[in-house]
């Protein structure tokens, strides 16, 4: 697979049709990517991140990454020099986007690489807002141990699979205790926590395809639609139905 340095504008607006991909590349600058409409996923060697309209993704300079659009997506990208790292992050991360930060991301991306006093003031406020934007755990790390990778691959292929860790281990040739230890050692989370993250990620992608909330809940393995709505609201601050309402973007930060 070809990997290239991206020589074009790091700060820009891109309109991507659903299912489109941006090949692996890297930038000399840090980059913030934000989907003003649709859902964007970013993958690196370290894992995958998903960003709905309430989240943005921080990509450190020289990090090889690739994008995929889920649903028609308005992709806003902001480049920041390597000397500007408001959160001190050395790895990709998902950040909470408040209503004010959303407007700043949209406005700054539209100016591209323009350098004017107005744009510099906007970027200064943007940096201030980023400093107070907490990191959100919408991230699925990549497994290194082949036993753990085998279990993850099964559930990534079928997030609604409700088997216990013991049953999954028996099907992939690994013990439950070993797998439990690997989840904590490699991912820093328990198996149920990881599976919830996987299901939330899949739910975001299915909602981007306009599937009904009840269908999404069933496909992602929740016992009931109400249980899915409760977990989704706790994770993202709004219900799945609100999440799909692109006509009211101001609610993204609620």
Q: Three-state SS across 33-72?
A: EEEEEEEEEEEECCEEEEECCCEEEEECCCCCEEEEEEEE
pLDDT at residue 245, rounded to an integer: 55
Identify the three-state secondary structure at position 95.
Answer: strand
Domain range for residue 124?
A: 4-136
- Are residues 208 and 170 part of one domain? yes
Q: What is the pLDDT of residue 138?
A: 67
- Per-10-residue mean pLDDT of the chain, 254 residues long, equals 58 89 90 89 87 86 91 90 86 88 93 86 92 76 92 94 95 94 93 93 86 94 95 85 52 38
Determine phi and psi for 91, rounding to 5 degrees.
-140, 160
Residues 95 and 31 in one domain: yes
Q: Are residues 128 and 154 in the same domain?
A: no
What per-residue string of b and e applies to 203-227 under the rule 16 or more CB within 10 Å gives b? bbbbbbeebebeebbbbbbbeebee
Q: What is the CATH number of the domain that holds 237?
A: 1.10.10.60
Find out whether 70 and 209 touch, Cβ atoms under 8 Å. Answer: yes
Quick check: helix, strand or coil at residue 21?
Answer: strand
Element (H, E) at 75: strand 65-80
Exposed / middle / buried, residue 39 (Cβ in 10 Å: 0-12, 13-18, 19+): buried
Please say whether the beta carbons of 29 and 85 come within 8 A: no
149 shares a domain with 82: no
Looking at the structure, do residues 65 and 147 belong to the same domain, yes or no? no
Q: Any idea which residue has 């994770």 for tokens?
A: 235
d(Cα 170, Cα 46) in Å, to the nearest integer? 27
The answer to whether the CB of 105 falls within 8 A of the CB of 80 is: no
Do 102 and 121 share a domain, yes or no? yes
Distance CA 12, CA 75 (A): 8
- Is residue 31 within 8 Å of residue 79, measured between CB atoms? yes
* Structural domain count of the chain: 2
Residues 106 and 162 in one domain: no
Single out the residue in 114, 136, 158 at which a domain terminates.
Answer: 136
- Same domain? 155 vs 172: yes
Token readout for 119 is 């744009």
Residue that has been written with the tokens 């977990």 in this structure: 231
DSSP 8-state assignment for residue 187: I
Residue 158 Cα distances to 36, 162, 185, angstroms: 28, 9, 24
Predicted TM-score (pTM) of the model is 0.72
pLDDT on residue 32: 92
152 and 170 both lie in a single domain: yes
CA dist 106 → 37, 206, 212 (Å): 11, 25, 28
Q: Are residues 87 and 150 in the same domain?
A: no
Judgement on whether residues 150 and 249 belong to the same structural domain of the protein: yes
Give the end of a domain, one of 104, 136, 168.
136
Say which CATH number the domain at 10 has.
2.60.120.280
Q: In the listed set 136, 151, 176, which residue is the last one of a domain according to the structure?
A: 136
* In a shared domain, residues 166 and 228: yes
């Amino acid at each position: 697979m070809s990997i290239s340095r991206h020589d074009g504008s790091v700060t820009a607006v891109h309109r991507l049709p659903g299912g489109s991909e941006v090949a692996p590349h890297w930038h000399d600058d840090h980059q913030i990517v934000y989907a003003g409409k649709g859902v964007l996923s970013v993958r690196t060697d370290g894992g995958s991140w998903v960003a709905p309209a309430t989240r943005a993704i921080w990509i450190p300079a020289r990090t090889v990454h690739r994008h995929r659009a889920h649903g028609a997506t308005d992709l806003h990208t902001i480049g920041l020099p390597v000397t500007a790292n408001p959160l001190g992050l050395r790895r990709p991360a998902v950040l909470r986007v408040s209503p004010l930060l959303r407007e700043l991301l949209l406005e700054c991306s539209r100016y591209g690489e323009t350098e004017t006093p107005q744009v510099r003031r906007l970027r200064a406020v943007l940096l201030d807002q980023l400093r107070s934007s907490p990191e959100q755990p919408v991230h699925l790390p990549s497994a290194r141990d082949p036993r753990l990778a085998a279990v993850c691959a099964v559930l990534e292929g079928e997030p609604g699979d409700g088997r216990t860790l013991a049953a999954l281990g028996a099907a992939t040739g690994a013990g439950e205790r070993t797998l439990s230890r690997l989840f904590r050692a490699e991912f820093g989370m328990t198996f149920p926590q990881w599976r919830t993250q996987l299901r939330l990620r899949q739910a975001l992608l299915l909602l981007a395809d306009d599937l009904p909330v009840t269908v999404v809940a069933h496909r992602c393995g929740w016992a009931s639609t109400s249980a899915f709505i409760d977990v989704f609201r706790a994770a993202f601050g709004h219900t799945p139905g609100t999440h799909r309402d692109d006509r009211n973007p101001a609610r993204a930060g609620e």
